[in-house]
Structure 1
């Protein structure tokens, strides 16, 4: 494989660069606030007719650009400690590497049938629980107790992906006692590392369209600045409604896929 073939395994129509970058701005904004940007981005990428494995790899590249900026913004606003989150981030990375390796061998159809049930649970918890706010509470799990869950969600993000941000946020609020905005800050860090883990696997397999992913990444970074600014300024008042909306929309999308697959 030549360098050119590695960077761009298939040709991409020039107009797609601009169109997909605009979509990335919108999805990056939503993703920075509540996660779930892939709800829009993945169907759009699939509709371009690009091979599915290249869709997955390229999407991880553009996604990591946006989540990295969002992570930096949450840290700058004081809602994230990199030192305290480092071990969880490494576990998410490791889980995602294993998940991405397995997705190349295992049919994900069965998982698509199960995931909506978890997402419905996250949405219902967000709607009815008074705990989904910025108040800090006593944690039910310490770092060691939460470690398997961080690894498991990272594995899921590498293997399948949609809703990983919601799973991180809901578990950090309910099990670690974090306020919602601080939970979203750590969620962004964990998302960066799980995205990075799966990106490494796809990149080593030559399954990333680098020029397209990087251009889209610029759009995702722009959206991340907008979204994280809204989230850090307005906190749970913005995050909670959007988290509910994204969870329900993602659930509806995946349930729809049951009947169209």
Structure 2
């Protein structure tokens, strides 16, 4: 890619995009659907955009994870094995994406986003009360978590929402705690993915480092909101993000004109 086309104005825009994405991703997931299109619009090849996106995104999820742990919304012992399995899934997914056409995933993403949006729209009222788990912690740890980690390594947008939803639907965890857990697992998937993208040389450091700072600022601000937000408001944000992402993909695929 010709880096001479990256102007100061474009760098400022990408920084602002990263701040907003870090904020939204910490609250509801979906930050990648804000940053990846922005990076692709600079003229980056898809894999380079994915790699640079992962490089800049891991600091946001890392900042959010530290905040959740410091505020004792979760403990490291609760999530350490979940993080490990998310990391493993992400590494495998990121290796696989080096050898396939990323566009093959485009038809899967809208379907999953629709399912998430519908679930949050019609699920029983979210609260700070946990419900009965449908599967054991071990089953969740070795199935759903690495599978979502694999998806994150392959492409990524919406991973935070997928992780939150899986914890609620399969483990009966209340919304705020599920969202906090999702931050730590998303951090693990981002780290695994970044390592592989760095090995394959699919990162532009100048852009990635600048957007890292933006992600950190956005995630830090959103982490404080997450600790005080009404579960109903968080649920509305998740639903809105899912359907906005779905609309964006529908236009991208040519389904809406």
Instruction: Please state which band the TM-score falls in when normalised by the shorter chain.
Output: over 0.9
**SS of 1:259 mapped into structure 2:** coil
For 1:98, the equivalent position in structure 2 comes to 92
The 2-side partners of 1:145 and 1:173 are apart by: 14
Structure 1 segment 105-254 matched on structure 2, within 5 A: 105-147=99-141, 148-254=143-249
Aligned residues between the structures: 253
The 1-side partners of 2:61 and 2:110 are apart by: 23
The 2-side partners of 1:237 and 1:76 are apart by: 24
**SS of 1:224 mapped into structure 2:** helix
TM-aligned CA distance change 1:53 to 1:9, over 3 Å? farther
- Deviation track 1:130-177 (CA, whole Å, cap 9, x = no partner) reads 153322122112221102110000000000111111111111011111
The 1-side partners of 2:183 and 2:2 are apart by: 30
Shift of 1:37: 1.1
Indicate if the aligned counterparts of 2:28 and 2:238 stay in contact, CA closer than 8 A: yes
Indicate if the aligned counterparts of 1:153 and 1:168 stay in contact, CA closer than 8 A: yes
Mind listing any 5+ residue stretches in structure 2 that lack a counterpart? Answer: none
**SS of 1:251 mapped into structure 2:** helix
The 2-side partners of 1:59 and 1:20 are apart by: 11
Mind listing any 5+ residue stretches in structure 1 that lack a counterpart? Answer: 1-7
Alignment match of 1:89 (pick from 64, 83, 91): 83
User: How big is the alpha-carbon RMSD for the aligned residues of Structure 1 and Structure 2?
Assistant: 1.7
Indicate if the aligned counterparts of 2:91 and 2:196 stay in contact, CA closer than 8 A: yes
Asked if residue 21 in structure 1 is aligned to residue 15 in structure 2, the reply is: yes
Shift of 1:10: 4.2
Task: Report the TM-score, using the length of structure 2 for normalisation.
Answer: 0.93
Alignment match of 1:33 (pick from 15, 27, 36): 27
For 2:67, the equivalent position in structure 1 comes to 73
**SS of 1:105 mapped into structure 2:** coil
Task: Report the TM-score, using the length of structure 1 for normalisation.
Answer: 0.92
Indicate if the aligned counterparts of 1:102 and 1:159 stay in contact, CA closer than 8 A: yes
